[in-house]
Amino acid sequence: MKNRSSENIPEKDKCKKGYKRMDTSFWVLCALVGILIFIAYLKQGWQLPWSGLVQGGRMFWGMAPNFIVGFALAGVVQAMIPREYIVKMLGEGSGLKGIFIATAAGALAPGGPFINIPLVASFYKSGASVGPLAAFLTAWGIIPISRTIVYEIPLLGSKFALARYGASLIFPGLVGIIASFIFKIMK
């Protein structure tokens, strides 16, 4: 069985060992953290930035299991689903069908960002196009069936939930179409 994990990463994103290099957003976040630590130090000495770093570390360790499971799921999905199938269903040539499939999948997707963002990243690396992936994330965010059934209907009533849901149905498709168009312009 051949290892498909690094074959799906575009050449420009690979470094010598096959892993993606750190991008600009990482360095911007590092600079922002450094600036905020400096400002906190100026306000109250080392106590304030140290307290913030400790709180951040606790938050990380509390969320680490979610990260591990989310990235494990994304990796397994990427390894299990053939690239050709993802390209056929969600790739550049899938058109509105791909956007519709991704919208339905996003509405049905359980879990939070720890699962769904890595999952979308694995689909993207496997050949899914921007439009369907944008539709997936939008549907997951604004028309999730599980959250509607578990929270909205019991707490806000079925009339409110159905009105909000009905009004929101069009947006994942629109976002998918617009995101695809913008991405093509940016190429």
Residue 21: predicted pLDDT? 61
Better-scored residue on pLDDT, 5 or 156 = 156
Residue 66: predicted pLDDT? 80
Would you say the C-alpha torsion 27, 33, 39, 45 has a positive or negative sign? negative
Q: Give dist(CA 185, CA 170) in Å, integer.
A: 23
171: helix, coil or strand? Answer: helix
Residue 57: predicted pLDDT? 93
Residue 20: predicted pLDDT? 58
Residue 103: predicted pLDDT? 96
4 closest CA partner among 104, 113, 85:
85
Q: Give dist(CA 147, CA 130) in Å, integer.
A: 25
* Listed range (7-16, 31-40, 87-96, 155-164) with the worst mean pLDDT: 7-16
User: Quick check: 52 and 99 in contact, CB under 8 A?
Assistant: no
Residue 13: predicted pLDDT? 47
Better-scored residue on pLDDT, 28 or 17 = 28
**Residue bearing tokens 């299990």:** 80
Alpha helices in 81-169, H assignment, sequence order: 83-90, 95-108, 113-125, 130-142, 145-147, 153-156, 158-168
Q: What is the dihedral of CA 76, 79, 83, 84, to 10 degrees?
A: -100
Burial 46-81 (b: 16+ CB within 10 A, else e): eeebeeeeeeeeeeeeeeeeeeeebbebbeeebeee
Residue 70: predicted pLDDT? 79
Q: How many CB atoms lie within 10 A of CB 108?
A: 13
Residue 92 has pLDDT above 60, yes or no: yes
Percent of the chain with pLDDT over 90: 60
Domain map (residue ranges) of the chain: 11-64, 78-186
The arithmetic mean of pLDDT across residues 81-106, rounded, is 92
Residue 16 has pLDDT above 80, yes or no: no
129 closest CA partner among 72, 80, 177:
177
